[in-house]
Amino acid sequence: MMSSVHGLPFPVIIPDWQGVPAHVHAFCTTRRGGFSAAPYDDGCGGGGFNLGDHVADDVVAVAANRTLLNRCLPTDVIFLSQVHGNIVVDAATIHQSVTADAVFTDRGAAVCAVLTADCLPVLFSDRSGHVVAAAHAGWRGLAGGVLQNTVAQMQKKGADEIVAWMGPAIGPAQFEVGQEVLDVFTAQMANAAECFVAKTAVGRTAKYNADIYGLAGRILAAAGVTQVYGGRHCTVTETGQFYSYRRDGVTGRMASLIWIG
């Protein structure tokens, strides 16, 4: 659901999950509503809302975008240094950027955030709103256990039933992968093959279209998270809404954020 709720000066996507209390706040930004010029713009001739400071965008524009974002948050967000791994950190321990791909908190006002541009962002909350988290999950992170590790860390903090929302990522019709990716997941999950569709002729190098949403849903279910929402966007094809590394190569990053009010 695209929205400009709460007077935000830029468009956002609000998780369409159910059973999460009102004091938990979450949204995902788009490429629209900021200050970045092409190729980090909004795709329609206006300023882009690129929040990545590692993609060669103008540092002044990125700083302006981050300032605009932080004005809408209870505390300034400290973005992770993401490496497609499975490390999960406590937001309360972060005072500067750390190498990790997921972050959780049980403290009010601490903002959990990840950056993406095709990889899957997953936001988490337990039903009491006691613990929340954000995870960055490309296929390597999924295979490496970043979602399971995030759930485990939330449970250590006393989370009750956990609900998850899958934000905008590359869609199953666009995510082409090789045999090695199929092999990694089928070695881990008996039903992983259901998320791959072969697309090459016999005798040629095997290529498949992979459903990252389907893979994440199965991994979450195995970890005990059965209430999973979202998973309806495609960052590659929705050009006017999202940055996409697979589509453009040089591009910006969106943020998916969650905090306890």
Q: Percent of the chain having pLDDT more than 90?
A: 91
Residue 2 in this model has a pLDDT that exceeds 50: no
Q: What is the pLDDT of residues 80-97, one digit of tens each?
A: 999 999 999 999 889 889
Candidates 258, 28, 79; CA nearest to 154 is: 258
Residue 255 in this model has a pLDDT that exceeds 80: yes
With the C-alpha atoms ordered 195, 179, 236, 59, is the resulting torsion angle positive or negative? positive
Residue 123 in this model has a pLDDT that exceeds 60: yes
Integer Cα distance of 46 and 31 in angstroms: 10
Integer Cα distance of 34 and 9 in angstroms: 9
Integer Cα distance of 228 and 178 in angstroms: 27
pTM comes to 0.95
Q: What is the pLDDT of residues 40-88, one digit of tens each?
A: 999 998 999 999 999 999 999 999 999 999 999 999 999 999 999 999 9
pLDDT confidence of residue 60: 98
CATH code assigned to 2-169+226-260: 3.60.140.10
